[in-house]
Structure formats: structure tokens, C-alpha cells
Amino acid sequence: MVETIQWTGSGVVMIDQTRLPREIAYVTCGTYEEVAEAIVTMVIRGAPAIGVAAAMGVAIGALQADPARLDQEMETIRARRAGTRPTAVNLFWAIDRMKSLYASLRGRPVEEIRAALVEEALRVKAEDIQINRAMGAHGAPLVPDGKTVLTHCNAGALATAGYGTALGVIRAAIESGKKIDVFADETRPFLQGARLTAWELQQDGIPVTLITDNMAGWFMHQGRIGCVVVGADRIAANGDVANKVGTYSVAVLAKENGVPFYVAAPVSTLDLTLDSGARIPIEERASKEVTEVFGVPVAPEGIAVRNPAFDVTPNRYVTAIITEHGVATAPYEESLRRLASAKLGEN
């Protein structure tokens, strides 16, 4: 399985997700600013992977900061991260986790602070893989045997530290002996499904069929899809789910066709400060992602464009939310709150 991000001792190396699957290339980031840039340009993407990168970025910043200015530097790094990708809450979660640790160490020798922040960033990465495995164990029983699972975007090893959230559930179902195959939506405009999910599953020998986004409803109508499993970028307290744009349409089509719609996400993706999805900030990306395909214009010059990177699926379309602490079902206010405060392995 592919390794999305690695710590080098003084920086990070990431697989360049903008170049897959044409080329397996790596980007090295030696400053926190370079990590921020890699997040903005989507060299690394996917909510949990962004969280790991952000934590490592803070650690790099601490290693390089002038010891006399560590306080100010930590604030600058934090402010820079917050301006990268606004929807994926894992980014803020990871930075807050690093910041709390830093706050608890203030006044300690600088070398001790630096070592502790590096250790914490490595822990964020290691825990993410454990969390994905736990999510897989909770989600695998929900996947119907002998059926096709539809997924949207990439919520796999590439979107996390490894194993994946939605693809982790699929991997776990296969590891438990189920015979399933995957339909991957291509996921316009950034093509995470075509470029990343199709590639990642093919690499692992998991049967995968690529479809364009507008084909999903038709395959559901024909009874070809056993269930849908997607990831999430932010989940509000009431179970409304922000995920890659197009997820909402898939969820509505799933309900119309009686297909279960599952969301797999770690509790770090829950934002219980928001009572509903209406308050989730939606990132709007460059119009070129819509008007061009790999640099080739596909629309008239000067055309008006909208490019929201995410949408919000109302909780009534969500059959269940699979977390590392167990499976939440409606009413989500209650079930999510309970799972958010649970410990790994408790449920």
C-alpha cells in the first residue's frame, strides 16, 4: 500500500497526488511554508492526510524557529495553516492538538519542546492508521457480500496516513472474506476518483470499475450497487456531512433507489461546535479546474464558473456514520456525541 507522507527527520516527503497516475513523483518539504503550499496545491489532500501534514508542518516550524521567537513563530504557523483549506476540519484539529501540547510545554528547554512536537506529529500519523483499521473493523459487517460498493472521490490510503476511511472499510470487508468489487466515480473536476481511487485499488488488486459521476444513478436504478461508502471532510453535530462535491447527489440517488449510504470518518472529522451542516465553510477553488482538463481548455474563454470543492449531505440521507469508536445512526446528535467521547476499542 502506498505511503502518502513520511517524516525525514527534518522535513517531509509526500507522494505528489497531482501527478498520479501518470507519474509516481515525490515532493520534499523542508519548511512549514512548503507544507502549506503542498496542502493548497493538493500535492497532499484528503482530510486526515491534510491533518497529518499540518501536524508535521508545525513540527518543522518548531525545529527551525529562532528559540527566542518560538511563541510568535507558532502563532504565525497556526495562522498560515488556517488559510489553506477551510472545509477539512482535521487540519484545524491537528493544529489545535499541536498547539495544546506546545502550550503545556511553554518554558521548558527548547530542545525538549522540539522533540515533543516531532513525537506528537509522528503520533498523529501512527494513530491515523490504527483509527482507519478500527473503522474498517466496524464498517466491514455493513458491506453486503457479493455486491458492488460505490465510492466518490478518494477516501483511501492516499487521503490518510494509510489504509483509508471509506476504502479502509472496503479493504476490511475484503480481508474478512467478502467478495466485493468497487465502482469509483471519476469525481469531476479534480478527478480524485479516476486518478487516485482507481489507481490505488488497482495497485492493491481490488476489482474496480471507473464510471463518470453522472452514471452512478443509472447503475443504482439497475440494482448494480449494494451500498455506497464515502469519506467526509467535516460532520456537524446533527450528522450533516460535508464531503467532495457530488456526494450529495449520490446520497439522494441512493435513498431514491433504496441503497444504503454510509460515511466513514474518524471522530477528528466531527465538528460538534456546529449544530448543522449549514455552517460548514465550503472551499471554492480556481475556475481553471472546471474550464481546463490537464491544461487543455474545454470551455469558452471568459465563461462564468462556480467551483465549490465540497457539498453538504443532509443527515436524512445518511444510513450510518462509521467511526473508529463504532457506528452512529440517527438521531445523530446523540450517537455522535457518545462516540466522540469514547476511547479506541471501547465500543
Taking the least distance from each CB to ligand MRU, the nearer of 113 and 196 is 196
| Total residues in contact with ligand MRU, by rule CB under 6 A | 17
Strands in 12-15's sheet, in edge-to-edge order, are 5-7, 12-15, 26-29
- Residues between 50 and 89 that touch ligand MRU (CB under 6 A): 88
Contact status, residue 151 vs residue 166, Cβ threshold 8 Å: yes
Contact pick of 11, 14, 36, 45 for ligand MRU (by CB under 6 A): 45
Contact status, residue 49 vs residue 38, Cβ threshold 8 Å: no
The active-site residue, picked from 233, 240, 271, 311, is: 233
Taking the least distance from each CB to ligand MRU, the nearer of 74 and 153 is 153
Give the nearest distance from C-beta 53 to ligand MRU in angstroms.
Answer: 11
Taking contact as CB under 6 A, which single stretch among the options 43-51, 116-124, 177-185, 203-211 is the one that binds ligand MRU?
43-51
Give the nearest distance from C-beta 290 to ligand MRU in angstroms.
Answer: 14
Give the nearest distance from C-beta 233 to ligand MRU in angstroms.
Answer: 5
Q: If 0-12 CB within 10 Å is exposed, 13-18 middle and 19+ buried, where does residue 115 land?
A: middle
Q: If 0-12 CB within 10 Å is exposed, 13-18 middle and 19+ buried, where does residue 4 land?
A: buried
Give the nearest distance from C-beta 160 to ligand MRU in angstroms.
Answer: 5
Q: Which residues of 220-240 are buried (b: 16+ CB within 10 A; e: fewer)?
A: beeebbbbbbbbbbbbbbbbb
Is residue 275 annotated as part of the catalytic site, yes or no?
no
Distance (Å, rounded) from C-alpha 90 to C-alpha 261?
22
Distance (Å, rounded) from C-alpha 277 to C-alpha 30?
36
Taking contact as CB under 6 A, which single stretch among the options 96-104, 172-180, 227-235, 289-297 is the one that binds ligand MRU?
227-235
Residue 309 binds ligand MRU (CB under 6 A): yes
Taking contact as CB under 6 A, which single stretch among the options 8-16, 28-36, 121-129, 230-238 is the one that binds ligand MRU?
230-238
Give the nearest distance from C-beta 107 to ligand MRU in angstroms.
Answer: 37
Residue 232 binds ligand MRU (CB under 6 A): yes
Residue 241 binds ligand MRU (CB under 6 A): no
Give the nearest distance from C-beta 232 to ligand MRU in angstroms.
Answer: 6
Taking the least distance from each CB to ligand MRU, the nearer of 87 and 117 is 87
Beta bridge partners of 270: 235
What is the CB neighbour count within 10 angstroms for residue 99?
A: 16
Taking the least distance from each CB to ligand MRU, the nearer of 73 and 156 is 156
What is the residue type of 57?
G
Residue 151 binds ligand MRU (CB under 6 A): no
Contact pick of 197, 238, 243, 291 for ligand MRU (by CB under 6 A): 243
Taking the least distance from each CB to ligand MRU, the nearer of 32 and 190 is 190
Three-class HEC string of 27-91: EEECCHHHHHHHHHCCCCCCHHHHHHHHHHHHHHHHHHCCHHHHHHHHHHHHHHHHCCCCCCHHH
Give the nearest distance from C-beta 329 to ligand MRU in angstroms.
Answer: 20
Beta strands per DSSP E along the chain: 5-7, 12-15, 26-29, 148-151, 181-185, 208-211, 227-230, 234-236, 241-244, 261-264, 270-271, 292-293, 296-297, 310-313, 320-323, 326-328
Q: Which residues contact ligand MRU (rule: CB under 6 A)?
A: 45-48, 88, 153, 155, 159-160, 165, 192, 231-233, 243-244, 309
Q: Which residues are catalytic?
A: 233
